[in-house]
Amino acid sequence: MSLRLALVGCGGVARGSHLPGWEKVEDLEFVAMCDKDRARADEFARKYDCPAYYDVATMLAEAKPDLVDVCTRDPDHDTPTIQCLEAGVPAMVEKPMYAAAGQYNVAEADVGHALAMYRAARDNNTPLFMNYNYRFSPYAQRLKEMIEAGELGQPAYMHCVTHLACWSHTIDLIRFFNGDVVELAARVSGPEEARTRSASLRFANGSVGTLVGTTQRGWQHDLLRIEYAGTKGYTVMRDIAGGLEYYPGEQRERTLWLRSHDAPRNGFQITFDGSTAAFAAFVGQGKASAAATGLDGLREMEIDAGIFVAAAEDKWLNLPERFPDNYE
Ligand X SMILES: NC(=O)c1ccc[n+]([C@@H]2O[C@H](COP(=O)([O-])OP(=O)(O)OC[C@H]3O[C@@H](n4cnc5c(N)ncnc54)[C@H](O)[C@@H]3O)[C@@H](O)[C@H]2O)c1
Contacts with ligand X, residue ranges (CB under 6 A): 8-14, 34-37, 40, 56, 71-74, 76, 79-80, 94-95, 103, 131, 133
Q: How far is CA 77 from CA 115, 189, 224, 324, in A?
A: 12, 28, 25, 23
> If we measure between CA atoms, which residue out of 311, 324, 273, 307 comes closest to residue 106?
307
Q: Which CB, 56 or 152, lies closer to ligand X?
A: 56
* Least distance (Å) between residue 247 CB and ligand X: 29
In the sheet with 28-34, reading across from the earlier edge strand, the strands are: 52-53, 28-34, 3-8, 67-70, 91-93, 128-130, 292-293
Q: How far apart are CA 265 and CA 274, in angstroms?
A: 15
> If we measure between CA atoms, which residue out of 61, 56, 7 comes closest to residue 30?
7
Q: 245 Cβ partners below 8 Å, 6+ apart?
A: 235, 236, 238, 254, 255, 256, 257
Q: Which CB, 73 or 221, lies closer to ligand X?
A: 73
* Least distance (Å) between residue 52 CB and ligand X: 11
Q: Which CB, 38 or 315, lies closer to ligand X?
A: 38
* Least distance (Å) between residue 134 CB and ligand X: 7
* Least distance (Å) between residue 102 CB and ligand X: 8
Q: Which CB, 41 or 156, lies closer to ligand X?
A: 41
* Least distance (Å) between residue 165 CB and ligand X: 8
Pairing between β-strand 208-214 and β-strand 196-203 as defined by DSSP bridges? antiparallel
| Closest residue to ligand X: CB criterion | 11
Q: Which CB, 72 or 178, lies closer to ligand X?
A: 72
* Least distance (Å) between residue 12 CB and ligand X: 4
* Least distance (Å) between residue 278 CB and ligand X: 14
Q: Which CB, 73 or 144, lies closer to ligand X?
A: 73
- DSSP calls for 43-88: HHHHHHTS-EESSHHHHHHHH--SEEEE---GGGSHHHHHHHHHTT
Q: Which CB, 13 or 208, lies closer to ligand X?
A: 13
Q: Which CB, 11 or 51, lies closer to ligand X?
A: 11
Q: How far apart are CA 298 and CA 278, in angstroms?
A: 20
* Least distance (Å) between residue 176 CB and ligand X: 14
- DSSP calls for 216-271: -S-TTS-SEEEEEEETTEEEEEETTTS-EEEEETT-S--EEE--TT--TTTTHHHH
Query: Distance between alpha carbon 305 and the CA centroid of its chain, in Å?
Result: 15
